[in-house]
Structure 1
Amino acid sequence: MDKLLGVFGQIGDTKVRQDDDYVDKLNHRYTTFILVIFAIVVSTKQYVGEPINCWCPAQFTDNHEDFTNKICWVSNTYYVPIAQKIIPEEHEPKARLSYYQWVPMILLCQALLFYMPCMLWRFLNNKSGVDVNSVVEASMTLQHTAYADSRDKTVRFMAKHMDRYLGSTRDARRTGCGSCLRLRMTRTCCLFCGRRYGNYLVLLYLIVKVFYLGNAVGQLFLLNAFLGTNYHAYGYEVLIRLIRNQDWTSVERFPRVTLCDFNIRNLGNIHRHTVQCVLPINLFNEKIYIFVWFWFVFVALANIVSLVTWLARAVLRVDQVRYVRQHLRALDKIDKKTDRRLVSRFVSRYLRQDGILVLRIIGINANELVVADLLAELWNQFRLSSPGMMSHNHRDGNGLRQDDIGV
């Protein structure tokens, strides 16, 4: 347990990255933090306090009571309603509670599952050829740059860095009807995928979004197996009870009073004992998992909205052109008389879907003014290289350096 907490502590000490949106941070940052805090709280109660306390027969000594508490903690207790007068026999099936010892471990595993899509995005993003996080950090530095020379130098370097990536992934000129048709289709959708088609980052980002959504929804059902109940309907049942002014606490899911069977060997004879135990830890578990249910539902809904939004942004070229035109007009780089086809060509052949994605992430983490400045510089480079833009130059390196951006 200490080693696992240490691992998550190291994750918390890592430098905060800004290469995703708010919903992604809701998953891998805030949800992970909440689950780790819950794991620490439950672990403290288990290892510092008394997680279980059993009512032993009068003839039991203090050692017997200590043994009873420990064996009932590790051997799983079972729940019998107080109204049920007949206790099940040894061979009869019992509703055993096998989760309470493992709650801290499960919470940490849940936190790790929420962090894994983020790890996938950062690992494969770094393999793409453009360091999105470095570009965003440079744009955030740009917000606090007071000197015009440093600001212009930062914008030019960011544009150079993006132009290097966009140029390296640009399609070489091809001939044939099949190539022309394939190029035309990839400009309007993600049917053909990869760096060569300018939608590698977009496809990767959408896949990560799907993983976030599947993780939030899937954990609701995975907890069914862990808790041994219909956990996916837990919050709904609580809401119904609250509406009806009924007690919303679930005695069946998180019982406070349970029974425990154990055997004691004495002088060659085996004596079977059944004792009644109190599980104070379930007071914490119940509150934690009702909060977790509502939180996971909220995160899942946020993931659905985010996935649909980014999917629409990736597929609808009209929205991409509108986004670029809006920022260029803000700096008077174009006017209403400017040829629409030139802006459309700038989006479809130069920026493409990956470039738009990086710009949107910059806008989310920095501000739209930085996006406008960067787009203006990219627009100038595009206009200068427009006659021969389909043939690109191979350039070396793709990292951002602090001395290049004037900080």
Structure 2
Amino acid sequence: MFNVFSSLKSLVALNKVIIENGVFILHCKVTVSILLVFTILITTKQHFGEPIDCLTGSEDVKFGRAVDEYCWIHSTFTVNELLNPKKVGKSAVQPGVGHYHPSRTTKTDHKYYQWVGFYLLFQAGLFYFPRFIWKLWEGGRLKVLTVSLDSILNRTESEVEQRKGKIVEYFLRNYHRHNAYAYRFITCEIVNCANVFGQIFLTNVFLGYHFSTYGQEIIKMLIIANYDESEGNPMDKVFPKVSKCIFNHFGASGNIVHQDVLCVLPLNILNEKIFIFLWFWFVFLAMVSMIGLLYRLLTIALPSVRAQRLQLIAALCDERMVQRVSQQCGYGDWFLLCLLGKNMDPVFYADIISELAFCFGSGYRLYGRRTRNGGCESTTVQKTYDRTSIIDPVYDTVEAPNP
């Protein structure tokens, strides 16, 4: 089984090229990994054995297996009035297990436990879907721009200058053309936030409308000193370890025999812990997602927030240069610069920001000019300047494109 877990390392490990933020990683990597681990634990029989074992009182092994299969497929039930053994006394041998009479007692059918593994796998797919879409939309742009730039120690000065020039040239050629790139990512962020709320709703339906208050009831039971024990253990309500099942079959004389059996569900020991964790994790993820969307809204509405964020990434760059670049960039340009900063050597990134600040300060926008056939012909821009006075740049020579 450990070999199976080791195969998840590629999913948990961060890629060399970071194309998302921390909240996105919590959704598409951390949550997906958690759900896949839970799926593996649920589907393996190494630690918990068979998922159901019904006590028939018969020595016929085949009959016992038939009852197990029937009760596993058609569900089991617990008696609601017997969920608190302390209240009902000897009427119940286990929470929810005792005499059941349709006219005097009510029951709760448990039909979901055989589908828990499939449901967790389905959830993992839903959480990974936004990243799949974003990877298609992103198209490997950052990988092309930042390949091998996480460290420039092993590169010559000429190689560094050449790569710097290409990145600056790309950025200026596509100046104010990155808004669609940024808004696609924001769309995926909104989908992530909607997905976690949708997962809470779907899980609540899946568990018979007990999941929405599941964690709150557990907290009350464990923390509150005067907890009302008449309400019963919430874990026994949702995931009973022992339940009842009625198996109808023909007796020796051909009459129908109603076999009332007890069924032990050892897998529910794990199920109750899994969904307790998922309740707290989904609540945490929903809060973080809402905060992330609020931050995204602030970056769209307030340029000062964008400038502060860019300054944090370009910590080695002069604050005035960062302010100049942030003021000149549109939202999509700023978004791309932030992603570039996560994938570049800090010194190299500071040089990129300095180059852009120089170009914006000089009023120069595009390296190139349109040709008659609609293409773009690159030109050479030669400049000599002192980096300490880059805030007030002056071109020494600028080669304009030939007419």
TM range (shorter): 0.7 to 0.9
Percent of paired sites with the same residue = 26
Match for 2:286: what amino acid?
A: A
The within-5 A match list for 1:135-174 is 135-140=145-150, 142=151, 144-145=153-154, 147-166=156-175, 170=176
Match for 1:286: what amino acid?
A: E
1:49 CA drift (Å):
1.5
Secondary structure of the corresponding residue to residue 51 of structure 2 = coil
Task: Find the aligned partners of 1:305 and 1:364 in 2 and give their Cα distance.
Answer: 21
Match of 1:284 in 2: 270
- 1:79-112 deviation per Cα after TM superposition (whole angstroms, max 9, x unaligned): 1226465403499974111111011111111111
Match of 1:261 in 2: 246
The within-5 A match list for 1:207-356 is 207-245=187-225, 250-266=235-251, 268-321=254-307, 330-331=316-317, 343=324, 347=326, 351-356=329-334
Task: Find the aligned partners of 1:352 and 1:147 in 2 and give their Cα distance.
Answer: 33
Task: Find the aligned partners of 1:322 and 1:9 in 2 and give their Cα distance.
Answer: 36
Residue of 119, 123, 144 corresponding to 1:110: 123
Contact 1:117–1:208, Cα closer than 8 Å, also in 2 = yes
Task: Find the aligned partners of 2:172 and 2:321 in 1 and give their Cα distance.
Answer: 24
Larger of the two Rg values belongs to structure: 2
- 1:284-339 deviation per Cα after TM superposition (whole angstroms, max 9, x unaligned): 00001101111111222221222211221122123334556788895459579xxx
Contact 2:48–2:267, Cα closer than 8 Å, also in 1 = no
Contact 2:321–2:353, Cα closer than 8 Å, also in 1 = no
Report how many aligned residue pairs link the two structures.
Answer: 349
Q: 1:23 to 1:324 in 2, by over 3 A?
A: closer
Structure 1's consecutive aligned runs of 4 or more residues displaced over 6 angstroms after TM superposition are 8-11, 90-93, 325-329, 387-394
1:207 CA drift (Å):
1.7
1:361 CA drift (Å):
2.0
1:143 CA drift (Å):
5.0
1:231 CA drift (Å):
0.7
The TM-score normalised by the length of structure 1 is 0.73
Secondary structure of the corresponding residue to residue 88 of structure 1 = coil
| Greater mean alpha carbon deviation, residues 363-372 or residues 302-311 | 363-372
1:29 CA drift (Å):
0.5
Task: Find the aligned partners of 1:14 and 1:243 in 2 and give their Cα distance.
Answer: 37
Task: Find the aligned partners of 1:283 and 1:328 in 2 and give their Cα distance.
Answer: 50
Match of 1:372 in 2: 350
1:43 CA drift (Å):
0.2
Secondary structure of the corresponding residue to residue 239 of structure 2 = coil
Task: Find the aligned partners of 2:307 and 2:186 in 1 and give their Cα distance.
Answer: 20
- 1:165-216 deviation per Cα after TM superposition (whole angstroms, max 9, x unaligned): 33xxx4xxxxxxxxxxxxxxxxxxxxxxxx5xx5212322222111111112
Match of 2:339 in 1: 361
Alpha-carbon RMSD across the aligned residues, in angstroms, is 3.7
| Greater mean alpha carbon deviation, residues 149-158 or residues 294-303 | 149-158
1:163 CA drift (Å):
3.0
Q: What are structure 2's unaligned runs of at least 5 residues?
A: 92-97, 377-403
Higher relative contact order (CA 8 A, sep 6+): 1
Match of 2:396 in 1: none
Task: Find the aligned partners of 2:365 and 2:50 in 1 and give their Cα distance.
Answer: 77
